[in-house]
Amino acid sequence: MAGESEDIWLDEEESEGGPVKPFLEHLEDLRWTLIKVFASLAVGMLVCLVAGNHLVSFLVYPLKVASRFHTPAPSSVLTVEWGTNVLARVDRSLAQRWLGGLATNVQALQVVPEQVEGRWVLALKPEERPQAPEPDTFVLLKNYSPISAFMVAIKLALYGGLVLALPFMLYFIGDFVLPALKVHEKRFVLRALAIGGVLFLLGMAFCYFVMLEVALSATVQFSAWLGFRADEWRAEDYVTFVSLFMLVMGVSFELPIVLLALVKVGLLDYEKLKNFRSYWVVVELVLCAFLTPSGDPFTMLLMAFPVHLLYEVSTFIAWLWWRKERRLEAAGEK
């Protein structure tokens, strides 16, 4: 009886999940699956297009956080004015040597007539002006063409709609594919999709709250080191940079799913993952150098650290599976 119940359980594990259909019916199911996938993507893009201003605020937030730790350099140039006319611009340090000291809120030198020992001469008088309020970000985002705003809106709709519609797209694709799988295969795929979705969100959250602040600050500092000013960026380039960076980090966090799936199908095992560790360090650094949008070494290392940690977690899980198989083999021999 025990053997028969075990055989029945194995048959259920190897049985397929859905009825057998003719080829034309499969084509019809595929057509409706594609329609649902593209319809969900269109709805997601429409929602993101309507909420475009809120998405812009969401993407600009890391730049505002990075601005809190950026101290703007005071202006080193003073204007020499006669009334409302600007006559010249001089260096602040040179003006301080002439006049003996200037307050920080002095932004102009007015040419005024003064009477000295009975004669009228032209003198420079410091003019104190209230400083302009600092912007929310240390880099201003601007559109430089009439269609830039539309291009920003389209990219927001595309990237945001893809992320928003991804769970529904995976559901529709799974509803088409899963009936053809065996019960144990279906269980593994559903588990992988659930864990993969969580890892994807964790990757995007890590990029949004940690990496973007470092990457944006490092980009500005690197530009200053090269001798360029980085106080204005194209809004379209910024949206593309932030969106792709978050998507790349979300995809890179799917590494355990890929490695453990290869372990399950027998292409990899614990020994291969352990022996490949030193080579993987080089591979991940090269990949992060290409995938990091900013290209600076600090951001590359910050991206490589969680990727390598995920590789070690995958190796540990593969070791647990390997030890479980050894115990089952030892118990079978006894």
pLDDT digits (tens, 9 = 90+) for 131-152: 544 556 778 888 888 888 899 9
**Residue pair 282/311 in contact by the 8 Å Cβ criterion:** no
Q: State residue 187's pLDDT score.
A: 82
The phi, psi pair for 6, rounded to 5°, reads -70, -40
d(CA 110, CA 100): 16
Tell me the per-residue pLDDT of 236-251, one tens digit each, with 9 for 90 and over: 999 998 998 899 889 8
Read off the tokens for 231. Answer: 């106080």
Helices 52-68 and 148-177 pack at an angle, to 10 degrees, of 110
pLDDT attached to residue 287 = 82
pTM value is 0.73
Any idea how long the chain is?
A: 334
Which residues of the chain are under the pLDDT cut of 70? 1-20, 69-78, 91-107, 127-136, 293-296, 333-334
Among candidate residues 65, 306, 84, 118, the one with its CA nearest the CA of residue 204: 306
**What's the confidence (pLDDT) of residue 131?**
54
The SS3 assignment for 136 reads coil
Domains of the chain, by residue range, sit at: 2-70+137-333, 77-128
**What is the predicted pLDDT for the residue at 32?**
92
pLDDT, residue 312, reads 92
The per-residue pLDDT for 72 is 54
